[in-house]
Chain A
């Protein structure tokens, strides 16, 4: 065993997409991690904080940190939630637990790339895949190169995804435009959120994408909701499931 890894499962993944949590757990175990899942976890507090109610969200931060204080690393299948912890837990009292959590909290793909430094995956996914680069992972954590920046950025998502055998990664016309989920934005600005999502889906359709994947299930939940309603568009699958060798 290499590391004691605390498994962080975001609330909506827990409730609606358990298969993403399962894939994350199995993937970490396959790579020799001793995975601990603190069952008392709920939410990172991002929904409150992004709506301006950081003062409310803050009440959960210490509780989150307490759960993971004995883990070497804390890993979750969501750049967005991980970004929130790293970036916005600055308003909590900086206890040892909070400092430990913020410093050692990783997104799954980032952890595979930066900490485990994997170079191969013995799985196959014989499909044409469109990678949706969720904004917090892309611009907040630079898991790939944002199209705006004119400098080298290690393409972590793309590199890890290319380790999957038989996968074909499609080029998109707009490589990293936001899908329009945005948390409470999705309902507070419903019209524009849906329009952004429709446009994203159409880009994948135009580029013959069979499966849209992403590090964040929240973006995919939004895109899936649109695809199902318009009864046209690719399938969706979280990147953890592809990396774990799950079938479509």
Chain B
């Protein structure tokens, strides 16, 4: 059984929890539908966003250089990182330069991807995630299970227990307002103590050299305004050519993510306040390779809204951790194989290719088509399980020969009728574990057709 299949099976073993998880995310998908239906030009917006990203991906080198020059002119320090290690080392250097000990960080899937928290903790630096969901999973020592709703797999009662143990809240109190207030007090102190604030980046504007950060909690701003140094970490694909393009994306992002018309905070950072320092780290980490793959380059259009996860019938029932990857869900299943085909060869198969992901995607990434294409790559690279390869090679031979097909079909149907139940339903029959096989008919369609014509 593949890793995903095993983890999904384990998740589903608790059916009540699976139903709760599925229902919570379906609710978000519904909010997205309602919100999107309120924008008459929704499909035109998606097309426009997709085309802007096409332009960006085709001219990325030019835009990145333009962005760097504009940001430098604003007094921002720009750093380039080829991979996760370089990214972490750059941040380590900035921390050393300032003798910093305490860091606050707002949501950033890129720093997850680079393993920044572990790197800093190993070096004796305190790093606190300030997004509430992120803080919860950090306290639980877990990775996020969703890119927008990192703690969606955790129930409020479990948060109550966690906060009781770690923040001293009342035992048994799981009131969300009460718990959020406790988290706010805890985090406020962290904001004021922090030497450096780190954020992710939603959009970087080549024309202005500014970065745009979208949050609901205002935690990115709390961090950046309080700390003397702020660092913004961005994947190199986050570029938009001009500020006028931003509105297309902010209209799509929050509606697709949570059904909100916009995030509560959309913050623009252009230059440091006087006596402060602002850094931007631009990271490649496999993106150039993905860009070079024509069939897969569109995956770099992703704006990390998470809509594909909320709509995915598999994700909703298997949980984000079943993808054993930084980015889970359908988008993760097309991004991760680029990083390590062998390690993630199960993910493109964690899908029925239903296509719902592609239809909700605000930048029109053809996710399900890329899943199909990754499957082909996996076979070509000999990473498909032998059992699948052998049986499907035999099937091909059978289908190539109509007489063999007719004969074996008849034989299989006769066997299904003749065999006792225990021979048909056993551990070798995965179909039949929780499902009946179809009743074999007296004759196939072909046999019926022949007889009809002979009558």
Q: Is the CB of B433 within 8 A of A47?
A: no
The 9 closest A-B pairs by CB, nearest first: A182-B352, A225-B435, A52-B375, A148-B359, A21-B445, A52-B379, A139-B355, A178-B354, A191-B9
* Complex contact B399–A42 (CB within 8 A): yes
Give chain A residues whose Cβ lies under 8 Å from the Cβ of B405.
Answer: 11, 42-43
The CA-CA distance from A59 to B380 in the complex, in Å, is 16
In Å, the complex CA distance between A191 and B319 comes to 13
List the B side residues contacting A184 at CB < 8 Å.
388, 392
Set B18, B360, B388: member contacting A148, Cβ < 8 A:
B360
Number of A-B contacts (CB under 8 A): 211
A55 to B441, CA, bound (A): 32
CA–CA, A42 to B403, complex, Å?
9
Q: How distant is the Cα of A229 from the Cα of B354 in the complex, in angstroms?
A: 25
- A47 to B391 alpha-carbon distance, docked (Å): 11
Structural contact, A191 and B5, CB atoms closer than 8 A:
yes
Say yes or no: is B172 at the interface (Cβ < 8 Å to chain A).
no
Residue of A nearest to B13 (CB): A191
**Is B43 within 8 A of A151, CB to CB?**
yes
Smallest Cβ distance from B384 to chain A, in angstroms? 6
Flag if A192 contacts B317 (CB, 8 Å): yes
Tally A residues with Cβ within 8 Å of B.
74
Name the A residues within 8 Å of B40 (CB-CB). 150
B-side interface mostly: helix
Give, as a whole number of angstroms, the nearest-CB distance from B272 to chain A: 41
Q: Is the CB of B5 within 8 A of A190?
A: yes
If A14-B445, A59-B400 touch, whether A53 touches B379 (CB-CB below 8 Å) is yes
* Given A14-B444, A180-B313, A194-B433, A225 contacting B360 (CB threshold 8 A): no
Residues B402 and A51 in contact, CB atoms below 8 Å apart: no
Q: How far is the CA of A102 from the CA of B392 in the complex (A)?
A: 24
CB closest chain-B residue, reference A150: B42
Q: By the criterion CB–CB under 8 Å, are B379 and A226 in contact?
A: no
- A51 vs B351: C-alpha distance when bound (angstroms): 11
How far apart sit A111 and B318, CA to CA, in the bound complex (Å)? 38
Given A37-B449, A42-B402, A189-B314, A51 and B359 contact (CB-CB distance below 8 Å): no
The answer to whether the Cβ of B36 comes within 8 Å of any Cβ in the partner chain is yes
Q: A148-B311, A148-B360, A187-B431 are in contact. Are A192 and B318 (CB under 8 A)?
A: yes
**Contact B12–A195 (Cβ < 8 Å):** yes
- B151 CB-CB contact with A under 8 Å: no
Looking at chain A's contact residues, the main secondary structure is: helix
> Is A168 part of the contact surface with B, judged by Cβ < 8 Å?
no
Which of these, A25, A49, A150, A183, contacts B37 with CB under 8 Å?
Answer: A150
What residues on A are CB-neighbors of B430 within 8 Å? Answer: 187-188, 190
Q: What's the least CB distance linking A53 to chain B, in Å?
A: 5
Residues of B within 8 A of A193 (CB): 352
- Asked if A40 contacts B402 (CB within 8 A), the reply is yes
Min Cβ gap A67→B in Å is 9
Chain A positions within 8 Å of B433 at CB level: 190, 194
Q: List 20 A-B contacts (CB under 8 A).
A: A14-B445, A15-B440, A18-B441, A18-B443, A21-B445, A22-B448, A42-B400, A52-B378, A59-B396, A178-B352, A182-B354, A183-B352, A187-B430, A188-B5, A188-B388, A188-B430, A192-B314, A195-B12, A196-B317, A224-B436
Please provide the chain A residues from 32 to 56 with a CB less than 8 Å away from any CB of chain B in the complex: 37, 39-43, 45, 47-56
What is the minimal beta-carbon distance from A14 to any residue of chain B, in angstroms? 4
Q: Is the C-beta of B173 less than 8 angstroms from some C-beta in chain A?
A: no
CB closest residue in chain B, given A187: B430
Task: List 16 additional contacts besides A22-B445, A45-B399; criterion CB under 8 Å.
Answer: A15-B412, A17-B441, A42-B405, A53-B388, A56-B393, A149-B43, A150-B40, A182-B351, A184-B392, A189-B2, A190-B431, A191-B12, A192-B317, A195-B12, A199-B22, A222-B435
